[in-house]
């Protein structure tokens, strides 16, 4: 048994202002005690009086096949199996060392990430989608998920379920990183998206949809998807959030992962900036739109799109929390919930991780400071524990 004690704590839903003592036995949390409780006989305690103890963070949108370089996604089809495996291993390690103990991979290259599930070693818990389902020549087509027609879409969903996917990802609009696709255009009809959702739900899997264009977001809501990635609501005349759409997102309990979390001072590569400008989107404009989503009561997740470029290295959920709290106006406890318990639920791991509670996986992060006074402490992991095992935090 081992104990972890800190002077401030967040349990996945609320702050424990006096801190806490978490007892770990094997890979699980045995108990969550008052900070003043004595440790059981023979139980060593890691004590960080000035730190904040939280559940390990959860990133609901990553690309473990991408290495964060300017051509991160473009280069993936050029990598042989050995090099791609090395990229994923490095991504997993960087993720974990930053205190992110669970990720949802939403853009596999064929089945690379999914087929590594269950491997041992220094890695976070990975929930994988396999190759995103996309239209022929559509967004991220090179990942291997091109599909057209309702019958083939249903078969594609079943294949993912059979291979062990934990979520189905569908590309409902074009994307920034696939030249030749149109961000404001829809890649599937409502009927096609409904078939994906129906087939996934029959297999017990949630569906999350990539959607930049307003029309695509509206189709996703009509089709009953469980989550929407980006949710940029782009139209040919700019970003637009109709009140009825926000209300429908709230009423449907749809999770929106707006993929915030931009490394400060790092601009996207020039070719990406050019595509953003052509689509009429900017980072600042997107953050203001996310603030509108929050004010409308939409449920947000703190996923980042990790790996896709230099502003999006692996393991930066702390920066997504900072974006939610700062420019997006989300209260701190809610932003941390979006990065822990709520994110774990979106990954299908709601009863297993994302909370400091007895019986949960011992996925822990001690940040080097009081995050209620200084949120940048979240960017300084002091202790990282994954399923009961300590790993060396990033310097």
Interface ranges with Zn ion (CB under 5 A)? 305
Interatomic CA distance for residues 154 and 228, integer angstroms: 20
C-beta of 259: minimal distance to Zn ion in Å? 7
Nearest to 173 by CA among 183, 165, 163, 159: 183
CB 57 within 8 A of CB 314: no
Name the residue nearer to Zn ion (CB basis): 305 or 363: 305
Residue 63 Cβ vs Zn ion, minimum distance, rounded to whole Å: 6
Distance CA 193, CA 276 (A): 26
CB of 145 to Zn ion, least distance (A): 13
Q: Which residues share a beta bridge with 73?
A: none
CB 305 to Zn ion: min, Å:
4
Give the chain's length: 395
With residues binned 3-state (H G I as helix, E B as strand, rest as coil), the percentages for the chain, rounded to 5, are 30, 25, 45
Between 143 and 193, name the residue whose CB sits nearer to Zn ion.
143
Q: Which residue's CB is nearer to Zn ion, number 199 or number 305?
A: 305
Nearer to Zn ion, 32 or 165 (CB): 165
C-alpha angle with apex 381: 390 to 356, nearest 5 degrees? 65
Of the two residues 92 and 305, which places its CB atom closer to Zn ion in the complex? 305
- Please, what is the minimum distance in Å from the beta carbon of residue 355 to Zn ion? 26
Q: Which is nearer to Zn ion, 30 or 176 (CB)?
A: 176
Smallest separation (angstroms) from Zn ion to the CB of 314: 13
Alpha-carbon distance values, 244 to 193, 221, 248, 251 (Å)? 20, 11, 6, 10
Structure tokens at 103: 């990720």
The residue with its CB nearest to Zn ion is 305
* CA–CA distance, 129 with 110 (Å, rounded to integer): 10
Query: By the 8 A CB rule, do 233 and 239 touch?
Result: yes
Task: Tell the smallest beta-carbon distance from residue 117 to Zn ion (Å).
Answer: 19
Rank residues 139 and 345 by Cβ distance to Zn ion and give the closer one.
Answer: 139
Q: Is-contact 126 116, C-beta < 8 A?
A: yes
The helix or strand, by DSSP H or E, that contains position 211, with its residue range, turns out to be strand 207-213
């Amino acid at each position: 048994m081992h104990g972890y004690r800190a002077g401030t704590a967040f349990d996945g839903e609320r702050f424990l202002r006096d801190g806490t003592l978490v007892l770990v036995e094997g890979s699980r949390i045995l108990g969550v005690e008052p900070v003043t409780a004595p440790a059981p006989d023979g139980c060593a305690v890691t004590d960080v009086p000035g730190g904040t103890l939280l559940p390990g963070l959860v990133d609901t949108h990553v690309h473990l096949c991408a290495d964060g370089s300017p051509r991160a996604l473009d280069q993936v089809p050029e990598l042989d199996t050995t090099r791609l495996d090395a990229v994923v291993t490095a991504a997993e390690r960087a993720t974990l060392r930053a205190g992110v103990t669970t990720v949802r991979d939403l853009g596999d290259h064929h089945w690379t990430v999914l087929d590594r599930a269950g491997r041992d070693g220094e890695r976070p818990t990975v929930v994988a989608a396999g190759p995103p389902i996309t239209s022929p020549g559509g967004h991220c087509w090179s990942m291997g998920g091109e599909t057209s027609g309702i019958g083939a879409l249903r078969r594609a969903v079943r294949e993912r379920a059979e291979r062990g996917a934990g979520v189905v990802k569908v590309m409902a609009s074009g994307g920034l990183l696939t030249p030749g696709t149109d961000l404001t255009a829809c890649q599937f009809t409502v009927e096609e998206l409904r078939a994906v959702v129906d087939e996934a739900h029959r297999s017990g899997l949630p569906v999350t949809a990539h959607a930049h264009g307003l029309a695509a977001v509206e189709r996703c809501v009509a089709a009953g998807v469980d989550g929407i990635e980006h949710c940029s609501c782009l139209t040919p005349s700019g970003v637009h959030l109709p009140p009825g759409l926000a209300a429908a997102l709230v009423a449907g309990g749809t999770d929106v992962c707006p993929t915030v979390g931009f490394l400060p001072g790092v601009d996207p590569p020039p070719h990406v900036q050019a595509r953003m400008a052509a689509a009429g989107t900017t980072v600042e404009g997107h953050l203001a739109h996310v603030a509108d989503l929050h004010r409308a009561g939409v449920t947000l997740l703190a996923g980042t799109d990790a790996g896709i470029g230099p502003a999006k290295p692996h393991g930066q959920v702390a920066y997504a929390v900072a974006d939610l709290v700062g420019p997006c106006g989300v209260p701190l406890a809610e932003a941390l919930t979006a990065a822990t318990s709520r994110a774990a639920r979106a990954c299908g791991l709601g009863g297993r991780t994302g909370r400091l509670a007895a019986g949960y996986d011992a996925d822990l992060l001690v940040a080097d400071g009081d995050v209620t006074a200084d949120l940048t402490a979240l960017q300084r992991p002091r202790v990282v524990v994954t399923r009961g095992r300590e790993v060396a935090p990033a310097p």
